[in-house]
Structure 1
Amino acid sequence: MTHPHLPSTQAAVTAVRALAEEFRLEITVTDDIGADQTSRRTSSGAFGVLDEDGSLPHEAYIELGGSPSLSLRLYPEDDARITVDGVEFADVPRDAVPGFVRAVHTGLAHVKGRFFPPGQWLIVPVPGGETYKELIPMMALTPWLSSRFR
């Protein structure tokens, strides 16, 4: 199964809203629209207000309630930063966001520990797509992360 292309930040927000409803999670969305509102600008020129395609850049910050804590920052440049219980995944493609959220809330996401190199990793396999892995910061094992060991 491949990911549907999410042509905009708004399409990704809509997809995450549907998942929040499906998993009965509280959701808070903050939208930043316009070059003066977004946190990073690579799509338009130095003093440009519109992106190259003539649209206003749109960035969104989403927080989902429940366990684990999950926050997403969707950027106009087709990528996202997702934080799961304090573990940050940078540069997740926007198209992978719904699958990532689903993987976390359906039990696919898990933690693996290694002796060498030492550390614990949060692994999020997105159905039909990539597998994302991030090192869990030392002493940052939350109850949710601890319950996901394999």
Structure 2
Amino acid sequence: MSHPHPHLPSTQAAVTAVRAVAEEFHLEITVTDDIGADQTSRRTSAGAFNALDEDGSLPHEAFIELGGSPYVSVQLYPEGDARITVDGVEFADVPRDAVPGFVRAIHTGLAHVKGRFFPPGQWLIVPVPGGSTYKELVPSVTLTPWLSSRFR
């Protein structure tokens, strides 16, 4: 059986990996993963519901919330990407297989905020070990205590 994206874990595998990170850092975790193929939050194409996930199951989504500071939520999409929100700063289009490393970077102190004159503003920078570095502009209204404490 050939796998179209062997490097992409299933949604379930990503959830399991994030659960492990949550346990490691003693974070409360809430997972909503009963979003079935018939009720995904976005429609990709007419034939989307005929497609099977890499492991042969129907594609599905999951929504993960992590307690503690910062507040982190992860929306996993069937297409293999995720949206991660850290204290109100939204990172769209994070590859699903980068999610566990991203969450770990937040909680191991790798993630930091940099103030820039150009482009202006504060940027939350999340270097994922062995992967990419993600940067997002911090809306000035959401400079939470955690974000403020991450200034470098």
TM-score calculated relative to the size of structure 1: 0.89
1: CA distance between counterparts of 2:97 and 2:133? 14
Pick the aligned partner of 1:118 from 117, 120, 123: 120
Count of matched residue positions in the alignment of Structure 1 and Structure 2: 145
2: CA distance between counterparts of 1:9 and 1:118? 36
Cα displacement (A) at 1:51:
1.4
2: CA distance between counterparts of 1:5 and 1:49? 22
Q: Which runs of 4+ in 1 moved over 6 A?
A: none
Other structure's SS at 2:19 match: helix
Q: Which runs of 5+ in 2 are unaligned?
A: 1-5
TM-score calculated relative to the size of structure 2: 0.88
CA contact (8 A) 1:33 1:57 kept: no
Partner residue in 1 for 2:10 = 8
Structure showing the higher helix proportion among its residues: 2
Identity %: 86
Partner residue in 1 for 2:46 = 46
Partner residue in 2 for 1:18 = 20
Cα displacement (A) at 1:124:
0.1
Determine if the alignment matches structure 1 residue 106 to structure 2 residue 94.
Answer: no
Q: Report the more deviating stretch, 25-34 or 86-95.
A: 25-34
Q: Which runs of 5+ in 1 are unaligned?
A: none
2: CA distance between counterparts of 1:52 and 1:140? 39
Q: CA RMSD in A?
A: 1.8
Pick the aligned partner of 1:143 from 138, 142, 145: 145
The 5 A counterparts of 1:64-143 are 64-143=66-145
Other structure's SS at 1:36 match: helix
